[in-house]
Amino acid sequence: MDPMVSLRGVSKVFDGPSGPVRAVDDVTLDVARGEVFGVIGYSGAGKSTLVRLINALEQPTAGEVVVDGTRLSGRPEREVRRARAGIGFIFQQFNLWRSRTVAGNIAYPLRVAGWPKQDREVRVAELLDFVGLADKARQYPEQLSGGQKQRVGIARALATSPSLLLADEATSALDPETTKDVLDLLARVNRELGVTIVVITHEMSVVSYLCDRVAVMESGRVVEVGDVYDLFSRPQAPVTRRFIGTALHDRPRPDVVLRLRDRHPGRLVTVGVQDAAGHAPLTDAFRAHGVAGNVVFGGITEVGARALGSLTFELTGADDDVAALLADLRSWTDVTEYDADGAPVTVGEGVGVAAGVAR
């Protein structure tokens, strides 16, 4: 891999009021050139500190940060500033200058970089066009909606043609519809301009909509990293499972299972639905084993344009047929069965548990 960002054993320790705070703890990570990379974690996980280390707004306590082939850690400020010019940054609160027009905001980094007025005007017009705000050039930020403000933020970040764009909770202040528009714009920035993007978020939906790969952070550490679909369909860390649960609401909580139990006395199972190669559709498996399944709960969403979620069935069929069906399903997905009290039944070893990571 030819990394755009390379972190090696990076830690950042702050002096907190009650002792040292290890905000980022021994993180080793590569972001490939041209990808959209997500960093997801709950509040305080260390996400913002991690991006501030990537653009050298913070210096690491230990380890090495390399961006686009340039080592940023332990360099003189002048060199760091030059490297930072190749990195764009967008913020949750947009951080626009209220006293400057939209065009003035976008032109600002060009002014700092010493562009002549005429070139600035051409570049600003181009950027306004790209983000769909050509008619707003002379307006002031307070006359714009949140989504429009973030478009200005994106145009400003792209002004000097950075090869890397860092987005720290860039859509967290926006409603779902506007969030989707801004994410679509970021996807275009990646696809049409070839800009590598690192997206910091606490929302699984942002990751599944936009990112190629994702790192999950908890207490300063990267606990899991990988292809978005692989990671969300086979989560290993409990914190990853929590994110998926909050996004999908597909798995019945224990109190829901109890209510389902009351209404459905037959065998209750939750089956993971995923886009894994080489298996028959769920309905075919039910038919092949002569088992009927009544859907009583569930949810399926799209992650990276592939289906992911689960369905909970009440099964009707002969015991042997049901056993054969469940063994069949367990060979490629996760299956959770509930006992008479609604508690998950532990599956004996060797029944395909390796393939089914319950979550």
Ligand X SMILES: Nc1ncnc2c1ncn2[C@@H]1O[C@H](COP(=O)(O)OP(=O)(O)OP(=O)(O)O)[C@@H](O)[C@H]1O
Selected from 46, 60, 88, 356, the binder of ligand X by CB under 6 A is 46
48 contacts Mg ion (rule: CB under 5 A): yes
Question: In sequence order, which ranges of 131-165 are alpha helices (DSSP H)?
Answer: 146-158
Distances (CA, A) of 160 to 92, 110, 124, 325: 21, 6, 10, 58
Q: Treating both helix axes as pointing N-terminal to C-terminal, what angle do 102-112 and 117-130 enclose, rounded to 10 degrees?
A: 130
- Indicate which of Mg ion, ligand X, none lies near residue 333 (CB less than 5 to 8 Å, by partner kind): none
Residue 98 CA to its chain's centroid (Å)? 31
| Nearest CA-CA partner of 160 in 130, 118, 123, 187 | 123
Residue pair 304/208 in contact by the 8 Å Cβ criterion? yes
Q: Which stretch binds Mg ion (CB under 5 A): 12-20, 44-52, 248-256, 299-307?
A: 44-52
CB-wise, 29 or 285, nearer to ligand X? Answer: 29
Closest separation between CB of residue 248 and ligand X, Å?
Answer: 21
Residue pair 57/34 in contact by the 8 Å Cβ criterion? no
Residues 6+ apart with CB under 8 A from 7: 27, 28, 29, 30, 50, 53, 54, 63, 64, 65, 66
CB-wise, 72 or 325, nearer to ligand X? Answer: 72
Selected from 4, 5, 7, 23, the binder of ligand X by CB under 6 A is 23
Closest separation between CB of residue 176 and ligand X, Å?
Answer: 19
Closest separation between CB of residue 232 and Mg ion, Å?
Answer: 22
49 contacts ligand X (rule: CB under 6 A): yes
- Indicate which of ligand X, Mg ion, none lies near residue 53 (CB less than 5 to 8 Å, by partner kind): none
166 contacts ligand X (rule: CB under 6 A): no
Q: Which stretch binds ligand X (CB under 6 A): 15-23, 106-114, 126-134, 257-265?
A: 15-23
301 contacts Mg ion (rule: CB under 5 A): no
Q: Which stretch binds Mg ion (CB under 5 A): 43-51, 87-95, 275-283, 289-297?
A: 43-51
Tokens of 115: 């562009």
CB-wise, 48 or 208, nearer to Mg ion? Answer: 48
CB-wise, 168 or 334, nearer to ligand X? Answer: 168
Q: Which stretch binds ligand X (CB under 6 A): 29-37, 44-52, 150-158, 229-237?
A: 44-52
Q: Which x/- pattern over 169-208 shows residues binding ligand X (rule: CB under 6 A)?
A: ---------------------------------x------
Strands (DSSP E) along the chain, which ranges?
A: 3-16, 19-32, 36-40, 62-67, 70-71, 87-91, 164-168, 196-201, 213-218, 221-227, 267-274, 292-303, 306-316, 335-338
Closest separation between CB of residue 209 and ligand X, Å?
Answer: 19
13 contacts ligand X (rule: CB under 6 A): no
| CA atoms 112, 173, 222, 244: torsion sign | negative
Closest separation between CB of residue 221 and ligand X, Å?
Answer: 11
- Indicate which of ligand X, Mg ion, none lies near residue 16 (CB less than 5 to 8 Å, by partner kind): ligand X
Tokens of 78: 């002048």
For the stretch 41-64, what's the b/e string if a residue is b when 16 or more beta carbons lie within 10 angstroms of its beta carbon?
A: beeebbbbbbbbbbbbebebbebe
Find where tokens 């069949």 sit: 328
Residues 6+ apart with CB under 8 A from 322: 267, 289, 291, 315
Q: Which stretch binds ligand X (CB under 6 A): 46-54, 67-75, 296-304, 322-330?
A: 46-54
In the window 268-297, what residues touch ligand X (CB under 6 A)? none
Residue 305 CA to its chain's centroid (Å)? 14
Residues in touch with ligand X (CB under 6 A)? 14, 16, 21, 23, 41, 43-49, 202
**Which residues of the shown chain bind Mg ion in the complex (CB under 5 A)?**
48
